[in-house]
Amino acid sequence: MRDLKIRINSDVYRGPAKLDKQAIEVFKNIIAVGSGKGGVGKTTVTVNLAVALAQTGASVGLLDADIYGPNVPLMMGIAGRPHAIDDRIQTLSNYGVRVMSMGFLTSDDTPLIWRGPMLHSVIQQFIRQVAWGELDYLLVDLPPGTGDVQLSLTQTVPLMGAIVVSTPQDVALQDARKAILMFRQVHVEVLGIVENMSYFQCPHCNERTYIFSHGGGTATAAKFDVPFLGEIPICVSVREGGDAGKPIVAMDPASPVAQAFAQIAGRVAAQVSVANLNKPNAMIIE
């Protein structure tokens, strides 16, 4: 018998060029994470997905585009202010993820009262004038709704795709459907739906309680013919990790909820690969 050595390598596919967007070579894939409404845990999902993707060995960046309510620095456990080198703003990092947020540039309690043009300007600066380095994935945590930031991003940045986060309850799913239709109107592929706070599992008897109803995410995914990426249970440790700047996938990677995030991150990576293989090299301008 002879010894056999097998070495397996992997690479992240680059999203195709788009004729109506200015290319940004340092990003292989820019993925927006939206929700249509607040209060569904979108930032928590985005932060944990970013860390989970970084744990696979991918180079990952996280842009906090929620200008009015930037919570990413707290959830990522990052403090301080970025500095500039050669007119390029340097990112701050933790858990293997490079981060940029308006939260680094303002005090904790300072409200931002900005109109659309100012929002457009800061989003463009965060995308194009920050020293991100070469990234496999840049996750963009969008603010709730379908307003100025979403339009600025989708109309000027070559997004590879979008993830929609919802809870199972009807009022959240109604806004999630609006988010799906918004992305489709601007020709951004929806990579899938994540159902957050799907159920509570009793730590004593393991019985599941569906606090916010059940099955809404899968039904919405089926209705709009988009992938259902998975369920995230409601869990005290997720909230504790977010408040302490220790995402659950980094704090307790073996826990069931961290494993759920890891599985969803794997499905996101798979959807990105499939979508990039199936897309033409350029988008038709209408």
pLDDT of 214 reads 87
* Assigned domain for 15 exists: no
Burial 55-74 (b: 16+ CB within 10 A, else e): beebbbbbbbbbbeebbbbb
Q: Percent of the chain scored above 90 by pLDDT?
A: 65
Phi and psi at 275, nearest 5°, equal: -65, -40
Residues 6 or more apart in contact with residue 267 via CB below 8 angstroms: 192, 227, 229, 230
Split at pLDDT 50, 70, 90, the class of 133 is very high
pLDDT digits (tens, 9 = 90+) for 7-20: 555 667 666 655 55
* Assigned domain for 259 exists: yes
Identify residue 199 by its one-letter amino acid code: Y
pLDDT digits (tens, 9 = 90+) for 58-85: 999 999 998 888 999 999 999 989 999 9
Identify residue 48 by its one-letter amino acid code: N
Q: How much is the average pLDDT of 139-164?
A: 87
Q: What is the CATH number of the domain that holds 161?
A: 3.40.50.300
* Assigned domain for 22 exists: no
Strands 208-209 and 200-201: antiparallel
pLDDT of 63 reads 96
* Assigned domain for 131 exists: yes
d(CA 267, CA 276): 14
230 contacts 257 by C-beta, under 8 angstroms: no
Q: Write out the residue range of the structural domain in which residue 140 sits.
A: 30-275
pLDDT of 286 reads 39
Q: Is pLDDT above 70 for 216?
A: yes
* Assigned domain for 43 exists: yes
* Assigned domain for 232 exists: yes
Give the chain's domain count: 1
Q: 230 forms bridges with which residues in the sheet? A: 194
pLDDT of 280 reads 63
Split at pLDDT 50, 70, 90, the class of 282 is very low
Q: How much is the average pLDDT of 159-168?
A: 95
pLDDT of 281 reads 56
DSSP-assigned letters across all residues of 81-114: ---EETTEEEPEEETTEEEEEGGGTS-TTPPP--
pLDDT of 6 reads 62
* Assigned domain for 14 exists: no
pLDDT of 250 reads 97
